[in-house]
A and B are shown apart, each in its own frame.
Chain A
């Protein structure tokens, strides 16, 4: 029973397209996150949702929008994809000052 699951695992799409990545956690955690990992392996926080409220939004283009229908889900929608959006996107969940549990990642390739 996967704790944090995200789909799809791979996503190849053309520039200008709109795509979504889904994430679900069954750990009962209050907070969910989206991280972007570039080719240099830096993990950059994009969004954090706590009980369906956005509590942090880093300097991410507004083409990226998180959507949380409930506490167990945090989806990532991306409009007008650009080449620079190619990366691995990780969803994670956490509870207070305890460690995160990450999903398996979505490798996005924009061509």
Chain B
């Protein structure tokens, strides 16, 4: 069956530091790798994604890296700000619409 894991489950960083969240998956046929951000009381929203033909993609302070051989991809946030505090989910496509269990990021002022 589908197996999507995220590490860590919770992460606290000081404002201005970097944060990295890793997602591992089981289906080697997955070809699309998105990250979603869910702020408190809000809906999950797509923030960045990557396809299997590239290894890294960057959008301002956030980036996603992909290692298809090892079946994991990571979300990188640099120069963290308080508004980055949220729960982050990965959802590799092809895993029967399964989302990872989420990572709660807290950015401390």
Contact = CB atoms under 8 A, between A and B. Distances in A.
B49 A99 contact: yes
Interface string B41-53: 0111110010100
B102 A105 contact: no
B42 to A, nearest CB: 8
Interface in B26-79: 31-32, 34, 36, 38, 42-46, 49, 51
B23 interface: no
Contact of A45 (B93, B98, B102): B98
A104 interface: yes
Contacts of B32: 97-98
Given A33-B97, A45-B96, A99-B34, A105 B46 contact: no
B93 A97 contact: yes
Nearest to B101: A42
B2 to A, nearest CB: 10
Interface string A29-50: 0000101000001111100100
Nearest to B99: A43
Given A43-B44, A56-B97, A90-B44, A97 B102 contact: no
Nearest to B91: A100
Interface of A: 33, 35, 41-45, 48, 56, 90, 97-105
Contacts of A90: 43-44
Given A41-B87, A45-B96, A100 B46 contact: yes
Given A42-B102, A102-B43, 13 more contacts: A33-B97, A41-B38, A43-B44, A43-B99, A43-B102, A44-B99, A45-B98, A45-B99, A98-B32, A99-B34, A100-B36, A101-B46, A104-B43
B86 to A, nearest CB: 11
A103 B43 contact: yes
A43 B44 CA distance: 10
